[in-house]
Amino acid sequence: MRMQPAPQTKIDVRLLICKAGLTTLIFFALIVFQSKALINLLGGFALLLSLVYIALYDRKILHTQRYLLFILLPFFIGFAFSVFSSAGAFGPLAFLMRFKFMLLIIPMSVFIRTKRDLHLLLGAFITSGCIAVIYGILTEQSYGTFNGFHRIGRTADMMVAISLMTFSCLMLSNFKLSLKSSFVHLLMILVFMLFSWAILMSEIRGSWLGFVIGCITLFIILFYVHRKASIFSFIIVAFVATFIYVGNIGDVKNNIKRINQQVESIIHTDSNNESNNARLHLWKTGWDFSKNQFLFGTGAKQSKEMFKTFFENQPNEYQKKYYLALSYPGDYHNSYLQIYIETGAIFTLSYMAGIIFLLFIIIKSINVVRSNERKYLIAAVISSVGFLVTQIFHSDLYHYGSTAFYLVLFSGCYTLNRDHPNLWFTMSRKYEF
């Protein structure tokens, strides 16, 4: 009797790539607050897997995920025109290295396919933030030096995005009289409190301002879509602030004078504050310098030496007046000015137009999606607003901190696109907010 050959198990390559891509993205979100090296490694691997998947199975992805156009089109415009920058032939490579995190939107759009996938991604992101704060506590990072794993400004800006996302979802989640619902909401309050405290402990004024403006924006939106939640949000913020102060968490009471001084320095920009003056000098000289590279910029990461040459060629009166600019040559402490100087007006305008358009469509579509889906759209808008405000004073819109921004922005784009994929180009008056 002849033996029958054992049946061959066919490997589903498509499913294998999807699982590998999703797993990579979850681990990426899990270490985003911890390691630049792993961000590069996991982010690059996720991008590679997504490009392979698109080439084999999803070549029409731009038809089904149209929001991608508003990120990728500016990216390729900047990449193409960077060859005309002062960096010349090296411009495209320098541009790619500078703005690589814009491409994170590709693997997320490919491998996040269900609401469960999105929850896993955002849950890993929140867990990463909690680990960073706990690490700061365990290593006794004090007020003004609290930074988790990354440098202090980057961690604070990322905390703004994740804190506002958590707060928005908390305010718009359906509360039920059950043990599970009570536990989830209590956990979200504790997480929001943890992140808010970490932002305060960083003593980064730009992050404070972004957080406050994000909260105000949330209050305004909630006033129109859910007035009870708007009132409750005030109560939560007041409770968190009171709890941190009364509990003297992180020795806040002994630093209240420093906190007041920092708040005053935000309001009174004409005060004798060296940090304020340095930024004003950098912004003024950076703007003057940019006029020489209006369209195509200096090229990514190329402005430092060129700026020094420009500054040294200015009259002595100019140099004496803006002397603090040489303290940070090539680092203008303003993401928008930095991007404009390095890439020129064409990319800067197209990039900002794409981001603004996405946020505009998301906020105009709040009443289009189901009520239980609104929290993702509102969270994406609020977190993005808070993070983008911080970038007026910082330089993380093109650095590792931008990973937090693209994660929260994607969550809103994905949620809207899942049920309304054609809405990006067909917005009409009936969807007005």
pLDDT digits (tens, 9 = 90+) for 92-130: 999 999 999 999 999 999 999 999 999 999 999 999 999
Per-residue pLDDT at 1 exceeds 60: no
CA dist list (Å): 345 to 112, 338, 416, 431: 33, 11, 30, 32
pLDDT band for position 177 (50/70/90)?
low
What is d(CA 407, CA 125) in angstroms, rounded to the nearest whole number? 8
pLDDT band for position 12 (50/70/90)?
confident
Helices (H), 112-178: 115-138, 152-172
51 domain residue, yes or no = yes
State both tokens at 405: 């921004």
The pLDDT of residue 429 is 47
274 domain residue, yes or no = no
pLDDT band for position 6 (50/70/90)?
low
What's the rounded mean pLDDT across residues 218-231?
81
Per-residue pLDDT at 142 exceeds 50: yes
What is d(CA 61, CA 71) in angstroms, rounded to the nearest whole number? 14
Tally of structural domains, the chain: 1
Of the listed ranges 262-276, 382-396, 410-424, the least confidently predicted one is 262-276
Per-residue pLDDT at 169 exceeds 60: yes
What is d(CA 147, CA 194) in angstroms, rounded to the nearest whole number? 13
Per-residue pLDDT at 430 exceeds 50: no
232 domain residue, yes or no = yes
What is d(CA 159, CA 130) in angstroms, rounded to the nearest whole number? 10
105 domain residue, yes or no = yes
The 3-state DSSP class for residue 372 equals: helix
Q: Among 335, 333, 328, which residue's Cα sits nearest to residue 387? A: 335
Pair 144, 199: CB distance under 8 Å = no
pLDDT band for position 424 (50/70/90)?
confident
What's the rounded mean pLDDT across residues 10-39?
92
What is d(CA 256, CA 268) in angstroms, rounded to the nearest whole number? 18
What's the rounded mean pLDDT across residues 29-56?
95
Question: Regarding predicted confidence, which is higher, 241 or 133?
Answer: 133
CA dist list (Å): 237 to 66, 163, 219, 380, 429: 37, 12, 11, 19, 34
124 domain residue, yes or no = yes
The pLDDT of residue 428 is 44
pLDDT band for position 249 (50/70/90)?
confident
Per-residue pLDDT at 3 exceeds 60: no
pLDDT band for position 9 (50/70/90)?
low
What's the rounded mean pLDDT across residues 294-314?
88
Which residues span the domain enclosing 41?
13-269+333-431
Per-residue pLDDT at 240 exceeds 50: yes
State both tokens at 91: 């411009």
pLDDT band for position 327 (50/70/90)?
confident
Q: Among 1, 7, 48, 58, which residue's Cα sits nearest to residue 24? A: 48
18 domain residue, yes or no = yes
What's the rounded mean pLDDT across residues 33-44?
94
Chain center to CA of 280: 24
Q: Among 398, 378, 384, 375, which residue's Cα sits nearest to residue 355? A: 384
What is d(CA 112, CA 107) in angstroms, rounded to the nearest whole number? 8
The 3-state DSSP class for residue 394 equals: coil
What is d(CA 221, CA 346) in angstroms, rounded to the nearest whole number? 32
The pLDDT of residue 419 is 85
293 domain residue, yes or no = no
pLDDT band for position 349 (50/70/90)?
very high
pLDDT, the chain, mean: 87
Per-residue pLDDT at 176 exceeds 90: no
What is d(CA 121, CA 110) in angstroms, rounded to the nearest whole number? 13
What is d(CA 203, CA 13) in angstroms, rounded to the nearest whole number? 49
59 domain residue, yes or no = yes
